[in-house]
Amino acid sequence: MTKDVFAEKWEIAGKNGMNKSLARFPDVCLSPPSPPAGPIPVPYPDTSFSKDLQEGSETVNIGGKPAALAQKSYYKSSPLGNEAATRSFGASVVTHQITGKTYFQAWAMTVKFEGKNVCRHIDITTSNHASQIGATPPAPTNETQDMKQAKAAIQAGKCPCCGNPLHKWQKDPKTKRPYRVMTAGAFWRKQISLIKVPDKQAEKDTLTETLERMNRRKTRQRKKRKDGQPSCPNVQTKENQGCALHFDIPQHRDKITRHRPTVKRPLGPTAAQAAGDAFSSKKKSAVLSIWSKMNPTNPIPAAYPPPNKPPPSKLNHKTPRMAGGCNDQGNVVPQHYMNTKACNDIEDDQSELEKVASLIY
């Protein structure tokens, strides 16, 4: 067998491949200095690889090596990314572990090896386990996950961010087919180019400058993350993978003429409205709870508000809802975790860019 073996259209993860659980963030661990100045809770990005697979399949191999099995297999990579933390100070604030295991939390439902479901690229994982409870939020894994693989996942009916079935705002309401995906830069450039009204040229130029500024700021944050430094949680690690991808959703109002001057109206709710309607209080509470558990030193007040009340913190989408952004914790960041000017500058830039929808006619 070669290593390219698929289950339900996604490639199976195995020791013979190069699947990556890349920069899982945040893994908050207590770190030097020692008392009285410390210890200090520091968020670390955890990375692990399928070449370090443990407890894989025994009788069914891919490329001559074990495959990943649900609720059994795990990655045990060294270094993981949190080695600067100190076990004597308590290590992870969730699992009290450093250099822990990475477990899959999703798998193929219809394909099994040795009686267990197989795990695949893009199935979500959590990292730095001592036991089955991990220290990082769940997120999809990838091997050489790129635009091509993301498109394959979408064609299989999966959201490239959370791995669940495509959300209704990611699909054309007429054809029920998913919109095509692109990078954030390509999405915003296209939206800006659609501003055709002559007296809106000044706004068009301003939005172009805003996009260039936001791209520079995101590049700086990605470099910090790559260098192992603290970085803004509202910036995706790569713009051509998973939650960072933007759906090419039309923002214009359809023109409808019925024996009178042309009027404009939306055909049903916009993508942003549909995503907002689906972002229920229960879902918001779940997102807040996950972020709170990952960083208990900065707890969220009333992490479980009653369903009929708004959440206690503004929730920001890294990929905006108007671009098909997912409501999963991998794409949503509570405002008070964006506690630096750099992070809020990026959020402000994106908020300005979202005004483009009102200029497209």
260 falls in which pLDDT band (50, 70, 90)?
Answer: very low
**Residue 140 pLDDT > 80:** no
Question: What pLDDT is stored for residue 67 in this prediction?
Answer: 92
Which element (helix H / strand E) includes 192? helix 184-193
What average pLDDT does this structure show over 98-112?
A: 85
What average pLDDT does this structure show over 326-338?
A: 86
What average pLDDT does this structure show over 252-262?
A: 44
Phi, psi values for residue 315, rounded to 5°: -110, 125
352 falls in which pLDDT band (50, 70, 90)?
Answer: very high
What is the SS3 assignment for 94-110? CCCCCCCEEEECCCCCC
**Residue 307 pLDDT > 50:** no
Strands, DSSP E only, in the chain? 6-7, 10-11, 20-31, 40-49, 53-54, 61-62, 65-66, 74-75, 101-104, 112-113, 116-117, 124-129, 139-140, 181-182, 246-247, 254-256, 263-265, 315-317, 332-334
Claim: this prediction has a pTM higher than 0.85 = no
288 falls in which pLDDT band (50, 70, 90)?
Answer: confident
Q: Which amino acid is at 91?
A: A
Q: Where are the domains of the chain?
A: 6-145, 168-359
What average pLDDT does this structure show over 186-213?
A: 91
Burial 227-258 (b: 16+ CB within 10 A, else e): eeeebbbbbbbebbbbbbbbbebebeeeeeee
Question: What pLDDT is stored for residue 261 in this prediction?
Answer: 47
In angstroms, the CA 159 to CA 153 distance is 7
Question: What pLDDT is stored for residue 229 in this prediction?
Answer: 76
In angstroms, the CA 152 to CA 261 distance is 44
Average pLDDT of the chain?
Answer: 80
Question: What pLDDT is stored for residue 216 in this prediction?
Answer: 95
In angstroms, the CA 135 to CA 101 distance is 10
Closest CA to 328 of 180, 167, 152, 87: 167
Question: What pLDDT is stored for residue 255 in this prediction?
Answer: 40
What average pLDDT does this structure show over 51-76?
A: 90
What is the SS3 assignment for 221-288? HHHHHHCCCCCCCCCCCCCCCHHHCEECCCCCCEEECCCCCCEEECCCCCHHHHHHHHCCHHHHHHHH
Question: What pLDDT is stored for residue 253 in this prediction?
Answer: 45
